[in-house]
Amino acid sequence: MAANKHAVAPMEVSVEAGNAGAAEWLDDDGRPRRTGTFWTASSHIITAVIGSGVLSLAWAIAQLGWVAGPTAMLLFAFVTYYTATLLAECYRTGDPETGKRNYTYMDAVRSNLGGAKVVFCGVIQYANLVGVAIGYTIASSISMKAIRRADCFHKNGHDDPCKSSSTPYMILFGLVQILFSQIPDFDQIWWLSIVAAVMSFTYSGIGLSLGIVQTISNGGFKGSLTGISIGVDVTATQKIWHSLQAFGDIAFAYSFSNILIEIQDTIRAPPPSESKVMQKATRLSVATTTIFYMLCGCMGYAAFGDNAPDNLLTGFGFYEPFWLLDVANVAIVVHLVGAYQVFCQPIFAFVERRAAAAWPDSAFISRELRVGPFALSLFRLTWRSAFVCVTTVVAMLLPFFGNVVGFLGAVSFWPLTVYFPVEMYIKQRRVPRGSTKWICLRMLSVGCLLVSIAAAVGSIANVIDALKVYRPFSG
């Protein structure tokens, strides 16, 4: 969940560590010698990729069916892997072994493209981080609500509606985030990635296991070749919107390109070059996560068919064992509490750097009080608390997990996973304009743009449809 962070120019989504030590312990850029390997890079990618997005894959496959669902997942996996190999080539500007290092995704964009594209990249990255914060607030509250409902169903039986609102849980989650946001460099805590990995595999593994058990209990696979049927519950138009949103859900599950450069920056110096090591690590990681995703998504669809929920562990396709569902949902909450802070730290750092530069003599901004792990200042307390409150209120207004996941996956897939890696690679490797490779790369980018637009439209249409019957703050 947290790779090495680096200090950056104001528009960058990262935080740089300092450097000291004897020359023999330094790399060619004067930073402490990197020690990462193929295996550590692979583990970082797998940890980053496998997250809450896995919970919506059964629903996504249910919309597309047994043919288009797995096919779409394989296509997204291939595109993600291929563009990641292009991005890995952009870690160094110039020579792949001795060129200037780019420590972050934004560094690579600045070195290779520059100008307005740097601003565009920054806007997309920060907008994506804000969206993820909202999505994590929704997902955490739904899991907390599911724990209460699972206990209620176990005690009162499955016929009891066990209705409850997710709003109080969102408020609770927001209060916890206000507290944690006062801890400086929360994302640098060394054990955070370990906890994230354990929690991710815990709830993903439980979801997969329950899907397998349910399929065996059913006596066979449910579902159809074309997915959910058009009928009383689903109109032809809704079928189209749901199918398009499914692409966004799958794209969200594979989103890791924006941290790939940072992971690559942990790999020890060549030979072989960092790009070759990273390409091998990406191949193993994407293959591993695709197999795992296929199992989770397909077994969820096999277990519930057209009734597959948009969140496998909170939609109550499963009721028992209730305690196992509780364990899975607690793991989701613990994971997302930390993940929220990791994704928000770059936003906090950007605003605070800008404020410090604009008003360097302001005591409101610079004066702080250290209390244990907390660094309290009036500006940090005010600004960070306001940010958390805004994301919490938006989550209360739009508490639709699947739709938000689909939209986030759609709007970030093309620019961050495809467009910038393709553009930087063309510039870095001086691919001749009009050549076969240039045309193929452009076609790939345009094709993925159309997919992203379609998925975003589908997600927005589904949100509008849900808002017709939803009363704000009632969820």
At 15, the pLDDT band (50, 70, 90 cuts) reads: very low
Average pLDDT over residues 318-327: 79
How much is the pLDDT for 17? 42
How much is the pLDDT for 21? 45
Q: Which of 37-46, 205-214, 309-318 has the weakest average pLDDT?
A: 309-318
How much is the pLDDT for 263? 87
At 22, the pLDDT band (50, 70, 90 cuts) reads: low
Using CA atoms, how far apart are residues 275 and 376, in angstroms rounded to an integer? 41
Question: Which residue did the predictor score with more confidence, 49 or 68?
Answer: 68
Q: Are 343 and 136 in contact (CB under 8 A)?
A: yes
The per-residue pLDDT for range 79-102, each reduced to its tens digit, is 999 999 999 999 988 877 788 888
Q: Buried b vs exposed e over 274-303: b needs ≥16 C-beta within 10 Å?
A: bbbbbbbbbebbbeebbebbbbbbbbbbbb
Average pLDDT over residues 455-469: 88
How much is the pLDDT for 178? 93
Using CA atoms, how far apart are residues 71 and 79, in angstroms rounded to an integer? 12
Average pLDDT over residues 216-231: 86
178 Cα distance to chain centroid: 21
Task: Evaluate if residue 6 carries a pLDDT over 60.
Answer: no
The per-residue pLDDT for range 343-372, each reduced to its tens digit, is 888 888 888 888 888 888 887 877 777 776
Q: What proportion of the chain, given as a percentage, has pLDDT over 70?
A: 92
How much is the pLDDT for 474? 62
Task: Evaluate if residue 337 carries a pLDDT over 50.
Answer: yes
- φ and ψ at residue 3, rounded to 5 degrees: -90, 180
Average pLDDT over residues 429-436: 92
How much is the pLDDT for 55? 82
Going by C-alpha positions, the residue among 147, 187, 142, 191 that lies closest to residue 167 is 142
Task: Evaluate if residue 20 carries a pLDDT over 70.
Answer: no
Task: Evaluate if residue 465 carries a pLDDT over 70.
Answer: yes
Six token digits for residue 283: 């191949």
The per-residue pLDDT for range 113-162, each reduced to its tens digit, is 988 999 999 999 898 889 889 989 998 998 898 888 888 887 877 777 77
Question: Which residue did the predictor score with more confidence, 238 or 194?
Answer: 238
The per-residue pLDDT for range 249-281, each reduced to its tens digit, is 999 888 888 888 888 888 887 778 888 999 999
Question: Which residue did the predictor score with more confidence, 414 or 95?
Answer: 414
At 473, the pLDDT band (50, 70, 90 cuts) reads: low
Question: Which residue did the predictor score with more confidence, 186 or 429?
Answer: 429
pTM of the model: 0.84
Using CA atoms, how far apart are residues 218 and 356, in angstroms rounded to an integer? 61
